[in-house]
Amino acid sequence: MHPLLQTRRHFFKKSATGIGIAALSSLLNGEDQKEVHPKLPGLPHFAAKAKNVILLFQHGAPSQLDLFDWKPGLQARRGENLPDSIRRGQRLTGMSAFQESFPTAPTVFKFAQHGQSRAWFSELVPHMAKQADDLCFIKSLNTEAINHDPAVTFCQTGFQLAGRPSFGAWVSYGLGSENQNLPAYVVMVSQGGGNTQALADRAFGSGFLPTKYSGVKFRGGADPVLYLSDPDGYSRDARRRYLDDLAKLNEIQLENYQDPEIATRISQYEMAFRMQSSVPELSDLSKEPESTFELYGPDARKPGSYAANCILARRLVERGVRFVQLFHRGWDQHSNLPKEIRGQCKETDQPSAALVEDLKQRATLLHSLGVDHSKLTFKFQGRHYRLTDVKGHVVKPLLS
Amino acid sequence: MIRALLTFHLFAAFLSAARPVEFNRDVRPILSDKCLACHGADAKNKNIPLRLDVEAQAKADLGGRRAIVAGSPETSELIQRINTDSKARKMPPVFTGHSLTDAERKILTQWVAEGAKWQKHWSFITPERPALPVVSNPRWARNEIDHFILERLDREQLKPSAEATKDRLIRRVTLDLTGLPPTPKEVDEFIADKSPDAYGKVVNRLLANPRFGERMAMRWLDNARYADSNGYQYDGERIMWRWRDYVIESFNKNKPFDQFVVEQIAGDLIPNATVEQKMGTGFQRNHRANTELGIVAEEYNVEYVIDRVETNSAVFLGLTFGCARCHNHKYDPLTQKEMYQFYAYFNNVPEQGRAMKYGNSPPMISTPTREQQAQLTHLVHSINQTRSAIKVNAAQMKAWQASIPSDSIDYWHPSLDLKRKLSLENPDETRANGGRVEFVPGRIGKAVALNGTAYLDAGFNAANFDMEDRFTIALWAQSKKTPDGTLFSRMNDKPRGRGFALEARAGYIHVHFTSDYDDDAIRMTSKLPVLKPELWQHITLAYTGSRMAEGVHVYVDGKPIEFKVDLDNLYRPLNNGGKEFPEPLRIGSGGGPDRRFAGNIDEILIWSMTLPQDDIALLAQGQTLKQSDPQSRQIREAYLEAAAPQAQKQLWAKFIQLEQQREAFERSFPTVMIMAENPQRRDTHILIRGEYNKPGEKVEPGLPSFLPPMPPNTPNDRLGLAQWLVARDNPLTARVNINRVWQLLFGTGLVKTTEDFGSQGEYPSHPELLDWLATEFMDSKWDLKHMVRLIVTSAAYRQDSRTTPELLQKDPENRLLAHGPRLRLPAESIRDQALAAAGLLNEKLGGPSVKPYQPAGLWEEQSMQNMDYKQDHGADLYRRSLYMYWKRTIAPPMMTNFDASTRESCTVRESRTNTPLQALNLMNDVTFLEAGRQIGRRMLTEGGATDESRISYGTKLLLAREPSAKELAILKSSLNYHRDYFATNPGRIDTYLSKGESPQAPQLKASEQAAYMALASLMLNLDETVTKD
């Protein structure tokens, strides 16, 4: 598994893209490392080296040609028809089939090299450019899918049709949670100013795995997790007392029926209660020092913004959440690209770079999840499915 | 893996008892799971010479070595290779990640030693009715099922549990058969009924309850991946609820299941198929459909057919045919070619890969509900009565025609839904634009003469139609040269404009319906140059609102014109976005200044309906009333409209009004997408690597060779396929379907892998019982209610559901059924039960899907164009959960929290998890808080005068029982706590009570109500409440 996901967008191909920073970090110092997830039969146990993943998914397919993929040769060929040597008979869609010509459109943005790696960055991403030496680009990733929905499904589940578990669901299934008070797989969605594409639940769904491995959506606003807040007029003390009585009644039932599901339910209510405190505590950025907001930029104070979600991502992994996934919408640029992409970059460049910087300051970046893929399987429809049931090559230098 | 552990657990007894190894039960699962991925049907493609899925090849001499030598483990290569320490020789190879356990190696060795006897895979052998086994305690058995259950328990030296108490039993069976809890009255009556068949009476009552059909439909909707939206990117609405209601009705009237299966697959092909039978095939159209502009339609055509293959093979055969899309099946004896032969049955639908963005995609039919059908019959009756009441006095009529002055230009036109007769000379209706126009003698009265630059603008109200409207526009035209230019349009006045137009091009007629010129339009050209110079010709465009070229009709001089379809791809409204169309009706213009018409135009008539051909033919005669045949229809109708005695005129007006009413009414009928066949069969090819654009060998429809052939005299089409599925010798359909009924009642199927009866599936826990049930199902003429009755009246089902630590250790999943089922309720029932106990449940059966409470913003934050969720109000908030609007990409959160399937693809296995999100959902979702408020109200108003009696009433509503003394004490203490809480915090009472839109109960003391509401909320959160025990 490669922690950095970046897909390449081909000419006239539309694919939702994970450009991204995924930081794998060991940030659990001082956290309770006790295993709470009941060990799955037949699965290896990985509690010793707890790791986390943050995946920043730029939803709608950012144009890599305007961000990181410098194509100097294109500049001289502006307006030229796309040569057959590039198109190679690629199929046309309903969207392009009637187009009379396929003119080449090089980027209008300035590119420069940065850091010791001399990686290319466009002027749209000045903050990312400063992290040049802590980023790794994989420019070979691509999907067969030419439309948003199947392409996102492919990026998130390894298969372009619905039905398979998402990346985070697999990790959640395989590694469980390290925190008794928070879910193992957290998803946050922010809205960009650009043209948006739909985001289906399946992008963070559990597919054929049990639904409890689905991503839990954290949302900006009063109820960061669905149904988290107690009803108005009901205090925490009252809820505590309520749960005590509920537990007593459920215990009578447990004694009578001996069904372990009852014991599980009692403990799930306790976790729910803890989430009711831990999630608001986590979402409350008011205790973050001023320097955090300087680092992540002006949007960071707006709940639900990409910048605020980046801070939350760091706070989540600090608390041992296995897999944190951000989706930022609004990257579906067509003819309006020169204008819209500026806005999208403004929303994401500084916070993304800040997250890398922040994690660097706080922990060592590690590069392995330590998962034995051949053993992390789930049998469905007679097949042993794996997280890594995806065509392609593992970029080993990246993992070592 | 979980399954493997369980398998060994279950079968440990067989081995310890030193019974001979049985291939199907003991050996095949090992070979399949550990070996066949390489040594299976796909081995050849991997250049592996040894196959272990075919006996002859497994035992064949492969150059001096044989994998299996019957009776001789020592010389069997397979046995050597699984036991070797050599890493290079070890099987399975390390890289596969598979390894054999000691027990598995022992089984294989023992099997070879005992003669390596092979068996055909158990589920591919037609079931035969087994004899009832001998059991330790025949008196325990209430019916045949119990003999099989008890025999198995005997072997494991386990005893069945006692029968559950009556209150447990009625709650269990009521929840199972209706998805709702029993009412306190029903519980009391059952407990009071001491007759020996008291329970049987309850079961019969429940089977006759229409709620039964809803309960069965819940899971059928999962199988059928039913939803109210298309899925994929835009995920717009579709209308399939008539199919859903048809399913409910089919279960309720206990339609023989074989007939139901045939309708699901091929109802449209049944000779003289009824609307209901055709509607059944909605099953095949419930798959996701992509409406995105930038797709390759052919790619999705393939995906839809593959989806049908996967769904039909899973639901009816319990097999995973989809696995053979790219290669031969790795485990089952299904070749890739056979997969595509099966595919061919579903590959002949006149469908388009790109689906309609709004509403249903063809093929579809109008499916009036029973109510609508009754209303229609009534309306038709009125129409017939009115028509026959109209009596015309022939002499008077003749006199009237004679009285028409000879210079009159009045003539007949159909008055039905005539929207406009456009006056060309009235400046309020039309005004010249782009220059001056003249008026000259025309075909009938005066015509407008256009010079090729000027045109008439008829404003925004004329012909204001969009792609789903029916309309007809007729006119007369004449031109000195061969007609050229746009005759009329509602379209941008520029090239490639948006809108509709009828255009002449050097005598040919072009019709445009354009949302986007390149790829979202209908464009047609007449096959011949039908417009001639000098002649006055009558031209009519009649459109059915079908959004398809087949719904566009053009007539010249009353005769239909043949067209070549250039593009048939209209998906979005002409003015995408639903706003008022910004272009007026233009006469002689549309498509830009170059396309102005030069010539004369006369008598423009506009109808908001599709005129039939005979009306158009009459119009095209262009005779004035004076000239018309006195016996003709036009004279009679014109007379009735204009000159008949008042009473006759009124009847005629009524007749016209009723006809229009019928037209509008018929158009309001819901539609359902169904199956149909192309007149010319579409070719099916093997798709190399499963890719839509890599066709290989052409194949014909056909069945896999490992299953029985088609019954004689069966057509080789979808109908034949359906009949084959329900034929007596089909080994799978009955087993697979009764297994899912078992799963619904016991939580786990007799074959746990309900989705896979192939070699990777689990061997049944009770193989003989499964065969007995399957044969009973078929012998009973597929009587589903009979089967359900048999199961729920068995002693096995009626057992107490309490377990013990010992039993848990031995059989944690209760597969052996030493006690009754205890399972968390399905998502739908959790909500429905709360609504029922609260007295809120709206028991309306069927109808369009509804949108109950849902946290704000869920759709907006993920959907295209910020589609928002418009919550319903009033009684629609309390419909049963299976009527909830199901948006595929963003499903109702309460449903997914409680493990509902996503409806993205076919789901046959039930799933149950236990999470903190469920706890939060039950504690804080307005649905459950409101139910708590109403249950609290019921406790106060219906539960007697004391706290004790009220609490008891509450547990009766939700648990169908009285609380124990200990429970009562806890509940009372909680009630008192909440009394104190609200007494100390009076300001919180009203906010707490404000949950939900159902009426408040101001007559009750608010603080008491709040305390009872909190108590009811607690009761709704009990493990027992969300569990059937």
Q: Can you tell me the distance from the alpha carbon of A228 to that of A241, in angstroms, rounded to the nearest whole number? A: 17
Interface probe with A: pick from B920, B955, B993, B1017, most Cβ of A within 10 Å: B920
- C-beta atoms of B804 and A258 within 8 A: yes
DSSP B978-1000: HHHHHHH-GGGHHHHHT-SSSPP
pLDDT band of A36, cuts 50, 70, 90: very low
End-to-end CA distance of chain B: 28
Q: Can you tell me the distance from the alpha carbon of A258 to that of B801, in angstroms, rounded to the nearest whole number? A: 10
Inform me whether the pLDDT recorded for A213 exceeds 60: yes
Residue B242: how many other CB atoms lie within 10 Å: 24
For residue B739, tell me if it sits in a domain.
no
Q: Can you tell me the distance from the alpha carbon of B302 to that of B693, in angstroms, rounded to the nearest whole number? A: 10
Tokens of A293: 């907001």
- List chain A residues with CB under 8 Å of B992: 231-234
Interface probe with A: pick from B165, B234, B287, B292, most Cβ of A within 10 Å: B292
- List chain B residues with CB under 8 Å of A147: 233, 290, 292, 294-295
- With CA atoms as reference, the chain B residue closest to A236 would be B981
Binning chain A into helix, strand and coil, the percentages to the nearest 5 are 40, 10, 50
Residue A389 pLDDT: 67
Partner residue opposite B808 with nearest CB, options A94, A198, A258:
A258
What residues contact residue B239 under an 8 Å CB cut-off, 6+ apart? B228, B359, B360, B670, B671, B672, B848
Tokens of B785: 């209610």
Find the helix packing angle between B166-178 and B210-223, rounded to 10°.
60
Single out the residue of B829, B878, B1029 nearest to residue A253, CA to CA: B1029
Q: Can you tell me the distance from the alpha carbon of B57 to that of B66, in angstroms, rounded to the nearest whole number? A: 9
- C-beta atoms of B989 and A233 within 8 A: yes
For residue B105, tell me if it sits in a domain.
yes
Interstrand relation of A53-58 and A323-328 (parallel, antiparallel or unpaired): parallel
Partner residue opposite B803 with nearest CB, options A149, A259, A268:
A259
Q: Are B55 and B118 in contact (CB under 8 A)?
A: yes
Where is pLDDT greater, at A367 or B737? B737
CA atoms within 13 A on the CB side of B800: 13
- List chain A residues with CB under 8 Å of B1021: 246, 269
Interstrand relation of A185-190 and A323-328 (parallel, antiparallel or unpaired): parallel
Chain A to chain B, count of Cβ pairs less than 8 Å apart?
Answer: 266
| The total number of residues written for chain A in this structure | 400
Q: Are A304 and A192 in contact (CB under 8 A)?
A: no
Of the three residues B597, B622, B647, the one that is the final residue of a domain is: B622
- With CA atoms as reference, the chain A residue closest to B755 would be A381
The helix (H) or strand (E) run that includes residue B419 is strand B418-422
Average pLDDT over all residues of chain B: 93
DSSP B481-547: SS--EEEEEEE-SSTT-SEEEEEEETTEEEEEEEEETTTEEEEEEESS----SS--EEEEEEE-S-S
Single out the residue of A371, A136, A378 nearest to residue B2, CA to CA: A378
Helix H, strand E, coil C: the string for B479-492 is CCCCCCEEEEEEEC
Handedness of CA B466, B470, B474, B479 (dihedral sign): positive
- C-beta atoms of B297 and A94 within 8 A: yes
- C-beta atoms of B295 and A271 within 8 A: no
DSSP A277-324: HHHHHHH-GGGS-HHHHHHH-GGGGSTTSHHHHHHHHHHHHHTT-SEE
Residue B5 pLDDT: 37
What residues contact residue B875 under an 8 Å CB cut-off, 6+ apart? B842, B844
- C-beta atoms of B967 and A252 within 8 A: yes
Of the three residues B603, B622, B641, the one that is the final residue of a domain is: B622
Single out the residue of A342, A346, A301, A347 nearest to residue A326, CA to CA: A347
The helix (H) or strand (E) run that includes residue A377 is strand A377-380
Handedness of CA A80, A81, A86, A92 (dihedral sign): positive
Residue B252 pLDDT: 98
What residues contact residue B482 under an 8 Å CB cut-off, 6+ apart? B506, B507, B529, B531, B532, B533
How far, CA to CA in Å, does B288 sit from each of B79, B233, B675, B860? Answer: 48, 10, 15, 21
- C-beta atoms of B234 and A198 within 8 A: yes
Contacts 24+ apart (CB under 8 A), B334-339: B334/B41, B334/B704, B334/B706, B335/B41, B335/B704, B336/B686, B337/B686, B337/B697, B337/B699, B338/B702, B338/B703, B338/B704, B338/B705, B339/B309
Single out the residue of A274, A270, A168 nearest to residue A212, CA to CA: A168
For residue B152, tell me if it sits in a domain.
no
Q: Are B322 and B313 in contact (CB under 8 A)?
A: yes
**Distance (Å) from the alpha carbon of B866 to chain A's nearest alpha carbon:** 9
Residue A24 pLDDT: 30
- C-beta atoms of B802 and A258 within 8 A: yes
Domain of residue B65 covers 2-119
Inform me whether the pLDDT recorded for A13 exceeds 60: no
For residue B441, tell me if it sits in a domain.
yes
- C-beta atoms of B914 and A191 within 8 A: no
Burial-class residue B966 by CB neighbours within 10 Å (0-12, 13-18, 19+): exposed
- C-beta atoms of B899 and A211 within 8 A: yes
Dihedral pair phi/psi, residue B842, rounded to 5°: -95, 115
How far, CA to CA in Å, does A185 sit from each of A318, B531, B600? Answer: 14, 68, 72
- Which residues in chain B land under pLDDT 70? 1-18, 416-419, 576-579, 866
Inform me whether the pLDDT recorded for A400 exceeds 50: no
Of the three residues B622, B643, B668, the one that is the final residue of a domain is: B622
Q: Can you tell me the distance from the alpha carbon of B365 to that of B675, in angstroms, rounded to the nearest whole number? A: 10
Interface probe with A: pick from B917, B985, B1024, B1025, most Cβ of A within 10 Å: B917
- C-beta atoms of B992 and A265 within 8 A: no
Tokens of B377: 């019959």
- C-beta atoms of B862 and A198 within 8 A: yes
Q: Can you tell me the distance from the alpha carbon of B223 to that of B910, in angstroms, rounded to the nearest whole number? A: 10
**Distance (Å) from the alpha carbon of B942 to chain A's nearest alpha carbon:** 24
Average pLDDT over all residues of chain A: 80
Q: Are B230 and B888 in contact (CB under 8 A)?
A: yes
The one-letter code for the residue type at A257 is Y
- C-beta atoms of B911 and A163 within 8 A: no
For residue B525, tell me if it sits in a domain.
yes
- With CA atoms as reference, the chain B residue closest to A267 would be B916
Mean pLDDT of A7-13: 27
- C-beta atoms of A259 and B889 within 8 A: no
The one-letter code for the residue type at B705 is S
Residue spans of beta strands (DSSP E) within B296-381: 364-366
- C-beta atoms of B970 and A245 within 8 A: yes
- List chain B residues with CB under 8 Å of A218: none
Residue B101: how many other CB atoms lie within 10 Å: 12
Inform me whether the pLDDT recorded for A22 exceeds 60: no
Partner residue opposite B233 with nearest CB, options A149, A250, A257:
A149
- C-beta atoms of B917 and A216 within 8 A: yes
CA dihedral B382, B388, B393, B394 (to 10 degrees): 130
Single out the residue of B760, B759, B738 nearest to residue B749, CA to CA: B738
Q: Can you tell me the distance from the alpha carbon of B703 to that of B683, in angstroms, rounded to the nearest whole number? A: 17
Residue B578 pLDDT: 60
Binning chain B into helix, strand and coil, the percentages to the nearest 5 are 45, 10, 45
Inform me whether the pLDDT recorded for A302 exceeds 70: yes
Q: What is the CATH number of the domain that holds B573?
A: 2.60.120.200
Q: Can you tell me the distance from the alpha carbon of A102 to that of A87, in angstroms, rounded to the nearest whole number? A: 10
Partner residue opposite B294 with nearest CB, options A95, A276, A377:
A95
Tokens of B437: 């126009």
- With CA atoms as reference, the chain A residue closest to B964 would be A252
Domain count, chain B: 3
- C-beta atoms of A272 and B923 within 8 A: yes
- List chain A residues with CB under 8 Å of B985: 233, 235
